[in-house]
Amino acid sequence: MPDRRQPDSPTDDNPFAAPPEGRPDQPWQPRGGGDGGEDGNGRPESEGRGGPARWDPTDPIQRRARYALLAGMWGFFFGIFGIPSVGLLLGALALYWGISALRGKPATAQPGQSGTPAPGGLAALGEAARPQRTAAVSGLVTASLAILLAMSSYALQLAYKDFYVCRDDALTNAAELQCNTLLPNNFVGDVLKVRQ
């Protein structure tokens, strides 16, 4: 195989290269990242420019936004798989966490530059709050679906209570099949019907 050598890179990009002729030695300083280094406070410059916010587990607003997404997603799955009580609980928690993340107040209220209070909740992060806002809104949507699935399951159990009682009390498969006569002759009846 032929020797594949990388093209020579200029010495400006090489942090280990010797300084150019005539320039005095300088003490070593850490190189800034690709975002343009750090500002005077030691923070990356991208934070001040409204870049994406980093996940901060100590921030209760960001935590609630993530909790809302996770609880809403799992509540929706439990509703689909036929466990409406857990789906309803997780949906209610996701609804609470999503709303509190969107409307929450920061832990320490800091006055703004003009003496007015700074905006609360995810609005305090400005443009950098987009991932957390998306998580909170997605949590609200999935929570609404989970609650809707749970409520529709409970509504079916109330509307066709005789069928569910008959099916639960049946001791044999033949007795369970006779409970199908209590269902209406429509799509809902076909879905709930006991199969052989």
Encode pLDDT of 45-78 as tens digits.
444 444 455 667 778 888 898 999 999 999 999 9
Q: Same domain for 153 and 193?
A: no
Q: 169 and 87, same structural domain?
A: no
My answer on whether 94 and 136 are in the same domain is yes
Clarify whether residues 99 and 140 are in a common domain: yes
Least confident segment among 16-20, 83-87, 96-100, 180-184: 16-20
Instruction: Specify the pLDDT at position 86.
Output: 94
Is residue 147 domain-shared with residue 61, that is, in the same domain? Answer: yes
Q: Best-predicted range by mean pLDDT among 40-49, 81-90, 153-162, 171-180?
A: 81-90
Domain with 95, as residue range(s), is: 57-104+128-158
Residues 63 and 133 in one domain: yes
> Which DSSP category does 21 fall into?
T
Between CA 100 and CA 109, with CA 106 as vertex, the angle to 5 degrees is 140
Most confident stretch, 101-105, 122-126, 174-178: 174-178
Within this chain, do residues 145 and 196 fall inside the same structural domain, yes or no? no
178 assigned to some structural domain:
yes
On the question of pLDDT at 121 being above 70, the answer is no
Do residue 139 and residue 190 come from a single domain? no
Q: What integer is the mean pLDDT of 85-97?
A: 94
Please tell me the total count of domains within the chain: 2
Residue 38 lies in a domain: no
What local confidence, expressed as pLDDT, does residue 53 receive? 55
Do the domain assignments include residue 10?
no
Residues 177 and 154 in one domain: no
Mean pLDDT of 16-39: 66
Q: Give the number of residues written for the chain.
A: 196
Cα-trace Rg, the chain: 30
